[in-house]
Amino acid sequence: MLVTGGAITVTATSGNPFSLRVISLSAGGDPGNASGFSASTAYSWLLATGNPGGGISGFDAADFLIDTTAFSSPRDSGVFSLSQGLSGGNPALFLNFTPVPEPSTYALLGVGLGLVLLTVRRRRL
């Protein structure tokens, strides 16, 4: 990755990916479980910002490897990802954590979908 005058140019490729190592630190700043981290909560951390004129070019999340071997906090199958967006109106790169819904969430969604289908079917009869 190259930052020049507020413009970010991502030079990583799938053949030569950029490696991002995610490390968890305790409240005291030592390696360990991240203070306040919850595997059931979604997070988005700002990694870098460009300026509106320069922006970010060449970004493709597939050109990054996210190494979580030094992240010791329980993740419960949640996943880390990268995205491009805006921060204060400026182009930005973010590291995101997305929790995996618990099975009860899927069950509730299934019940809701079933009720909708039942209602639609009754209206047709």
Q: Does residue 106 carry a pLDDT above 60?
A: no
Q: How far apart are CA 25 and CA 107, in angstroms?
A: 35
For 108, the token pair is: 């509730």
Residue 73, both tokens:
């906090």
pLDDT category at 110 given cuts 50, 70, 90 is low
**Domains of the chain, residue spans:** 2-124
First vs last C-alpha separation in the chain: 61
Q: What torsion, rounded to 10 degrees, do the Cα atoms 61, 64, 65, 68 define?
A: -70
105/98 Cα distance (integer angstroms): 15
Task: Name the pTM for this structure.
Answer: 0.73
Task: Write the pLDDT tens digit of every residue in 17-64.
Answer: 999 999 999 999 999 999 899 999 999 999 988 887 778 889 999 999
Helical spans, DSSP H, in 3-97: none
- Which three-class secondary structure state does DSSP give residue 58? coil
Q: Which of 29-33, 82-86, 95-99, 102-106 shows the lowest per-residue confidence on average (mean pLDDT)?
A: 102-106
Q: How many CB atoms sit inside 10 A of residue 3's CB?
A: 13
